Structure 1
């Protein structure tokens, strides 16, 4: 019985390792890479503070804003979420309601995004839901 349990555990561990390895991205030389964001990538991070009196339906409608932005040419990845429940510390600001993270291959792509009609129209349409927006752009080194 002990041998059978050991064999099951060993098989499960082997399968898990294989699955995790298959999820690891490859770098430009075909080697496994631990960094999934390439050097020179632009990380566009946007923080949204929504109006206090917003209804659940309005908040759900606001989320369509992010889906509209996916349509803009040059967007590599687009993800969004709410503040994590991290421990309170003087350096942590969890006062925003949503964070949008978009990656672009280069400055040309983010410059196109900033002025693209789909982006500007969506911002105009959904801006009725927020009181404050902060943008922080980073070039990955």
Structure 2
């Protein structure tokens, strides 16, 4: 039997506990379910910079809904491949902890006001909702 010192025992135990807790935390974070809500807007007047600016203004206000964990407001990138859809004017990408948080967002007064105040700007909206696990 190998003789161990108190110092070696404490160092080994401390390192092992850090490794275990780091691994557990990583696994919990990696397996966390998320809900993704991605909306594409086609403006009635796609060449109107004023209408686009107005919609962007509305989305900025809408991003204040507290249940939203992360938001990205975008416009079509300059990439050009046959599989890329670039006909939309603005995209609205949201991340929620779960479906329940997204449902709260849908009924939130800020969201309802956004729809009432800005829906006259768009002719078409497509929504893609998905669930999955959070990755790095």
Normalised by the length of structure 1, the TM-score is 0.68
| Deviation for aligned residue 1:28 | 6.5
Q: Gaps (5+ residues) in structure 1?
A: 1-25
| Deviation for aligned residue 1:114 | 0.8
Q: How many residues align?
A: 111
Matches within 5 A, 1:1-141: 29=25, 39-52=32-45, 55-89=48-82, 91-141=83-133
Q: Please state whether the residue corresponding to 1:88 is helix, strand or coil.
A: coil
Q: Gaps (5+ residues) in structure 2?
A: 1-21
In the alignment, the residues of structure 2 paired with residue 98 and residue 42 of structure 1 have an alpha-carbon distance, to the nearest angstrom, of: 20
- Return the index of the structure with the highest Cα Rg: 2
In the alignment, the residues of structure 2 paired with residue 84 and residue 104 of structure 1 have an alpha-carbon distance, to the nearest angstrom, of: 24
| Deviation for aligned residue 1:107 | 1.1
The change in CA–CA distance for 1:120 and 1:54 in structure 2 (over 3 A counts) is farther
